[in-house]
Amino acid sequence: MLRALLLVCAALSLALPGVLAGDRSMTSFAAYVALTVVTLALAYAHLRRWAVVD
């Protein structure tokens, strides 16, 4: 579940500049940065869970 969510967020954050074509506001850039932060947080959560097996 966490992995799927991570992959969706990563794909969205990579596709966002294309989706926001023509929108030059700082709000859309802030949304992009926020999505990036969420993706990184999900990646760390996923990794921490994976490392518990150690």
Partner 1 sequence: MTELVLALGIYLAVVAAVSVYSRLYARTRDPVDYFIASRGLSGLTSAMTYAATTYSAFMMVGLVGLSYATGVGALAFELAYLVSTIAILATFGTRVWELSRERGYVTPTQLLRDRLGSRWATAVAVALTAVALIPYSAVQMVGPASIIAGIGGSSVDYRVAVTIAFAITLVTTLAAGVRSVAWSDAVQGVIMLSSAAAFVAWLTARTPPGALARLADAELLSPLNRFWTPYTFFAYTTPWIFFAITNPQVFQRLYLPRSRRDYVRMVVYFSVFGLVYTVIAVSVGLLARGLVELGALDLGVDLRDRAAWNRVTPSLLRYTHPALAVAVAVSILAAATSTINSIVLTVASMVSYDTVVPERYRLAVGKAVVVLFSVVIYLFALSTPAFVVDLAVASSTLLLPLLPLYIFSVYGLASRYAYVSTLAVGSPLALGLTYVKGLHLPLPKEVLVATVSVATYVVVALLDRATVGRRSQ
- Interacting residue ranges for partner 1, rule: CB under 8 A: 3, 6-7, 10, 13-14, 17-18, 20-26, 28-29, 32-33, 36, 39-40, 43-44, 46-48, 50-51, 53-54
Q: Shortest Cβ distance from residue 1 to partner 1 (Å)?
A: 13
Name the residue nearer to partner 1 (CB basis): 1 or 26: 26
Sign (positive or negative) of CA dihedral 19, 34, 40, 6: negative
Asked if residues 5 and 35 have their Cβ atoms less than 8 Å apart, the reply is no
For residue 44, what are the contacts with CB-CB under 8 A and spacing of at least 6?
Answer: none
> CB of 41: closest distance to partner 1 in angstroms?
10
